[in-house]
Structure 1
Amino acid sequence: MAEVFQFELVSPERLLLSEEVTQVVVPGTEGEFGVLKNHSPFMSTIKPGILKVHKADGSVTEFFVRGGFADVAVGGLTVLAEQAVPVSDLKPEVLAQQIKDAQEDVSDAKDPEAKRKAQETLAQLLEVEQALKAA
């Protein structure tokens, strides 16, 4: 059996999860990464995607996260997400609105850097939409 470690998922609105888990898979901006007990400490930014929490009872809980930071420390993992919603609570119309907003951000971008960032966010949201459809 895998060893447990402390995990906390925090959004600006509230603490979504604080418990001992066996593994967390995080959508890092440099690629998806998994964290187990005694992982080497590091920090990473996260991109919009699905964060998977493997619990001690064998169940997996998924959250849609939209940006933020992951901090792997000796005491465990803390994810500070710009937005985090349980996938089970995610409504297709909410994601569709976020995609529409991102498309508008691309159209309204005033400079090349803003346009690039908006296009990146839109692409990531479309990937999440596809991942949710496949799940």
Structure 2
Amino acid sequence: MANTFQAQVLTPDGSLFEGEVTGVRVPGVQGNFMMLHNHAPIVSTLGVGAVVITKPDNSEIVYAVSGGFVEMNDNSMTLLAEKAEEASEIDKEEAEMLLKEAKGLLSDTVGDRSKAEKEVAIAKNRLKLAD
């Protein structure tokens, strides 16, 4: 059997994934990184991007995430996402509409620009992963 470790993906709405995996790639705020069996202990902040979970049968599950934290210790990984959804469940038309709305927020000079920029990044990530 391949070298595996326990992984779980949690959101405020509940658990999205729990099981044995061979690897997990996450969008750290300083760049993407991969965790494998016997990875050194780490706690990292997540940015907007894709979490790619590789299962022992080499199949992958991809989640669109918009921030959070990940901890890896003693071959156990816990990912706490602000928001996450499985890429295969993203509605492309809805993602396009949300991107258009988020871009509209950027043109509103009265609003919070950094929040609007994050919403655009989230919408672009969802649209990219919906393909």
Quickly say closer, same or farther: Cα 1:30–1:19, change in 2 above 3 A. same
Name which of structure 1's ranges 115-124 and 37-46 shifts more when overlaid on structure 2.
115-124
Residue 47 of structure 1 aligns to a residue in which SS? Answer: strand
Gaps of 5+ in 1: none
Identity of counterpart residues, as a percentage? Answer: 33
Quote the Cα distance in structure 2 between the aligned partners of 1:73 and 1:102.
37
Quickly say closer, same or farther: Cα 1:57–1:44, change in 2 above 3 A. same
- Aligned length in residues: 131
Report how far residue 14 of structure 1 moved.
1.3
Quote the Cα distance in structure 2 between the aligned partners of 1:60 and 1:93.
24
- Calculate the TM-score normalised by the size of structure 2: 0.84
Aligned residue for 2:123?
Answer: 125
Aligned residue for 2:87?
Answer: 87
Aligned residue for 2:65?
Answer: 65
Report how far residue 118 of structure 1 moved.
2.6
Quote the Cα distance in structure 2 between the aligned partners of 1:121 and 1:43.
25
Gaps of 5+ in 2: none
Quickly say closer, same or farther: Cα 1:131–1:87, change in 2 above 3 A. closer
Amino acid at match of 2:13: E
Residue 22 of structure 2 aligns to a residue in which SS? Answer: strand
Quote the Cα distance in structure 1 between the aligned partners of 2:129 and 2:61.
15
Deviations 1:93-124 (A, max 9, x none): 3322432342243234547xx41453244245
Quote the Cα distance in structure 2 between the aligned partners of 1:14 and 1:120.
23
Contact kept in structure 2, 1:42 and 1:73, CA below 8 Å: yes
- Calculate the TM-score normalised by the size of structure 1: 0.82
Report how far residue 88 of structure 1 moved.
1.1
Q: CA RMSD in A?
A: 2.2
Name which of structure 1's ranges 102-111 and 87-96 shifts more when overlaid on structure 2.
102-111
Report how far residue 64 of structure 1 moved.
1.1
Quote the Cα distance in structure 1 between the aligned partners of 2:128 and 2:58.
26
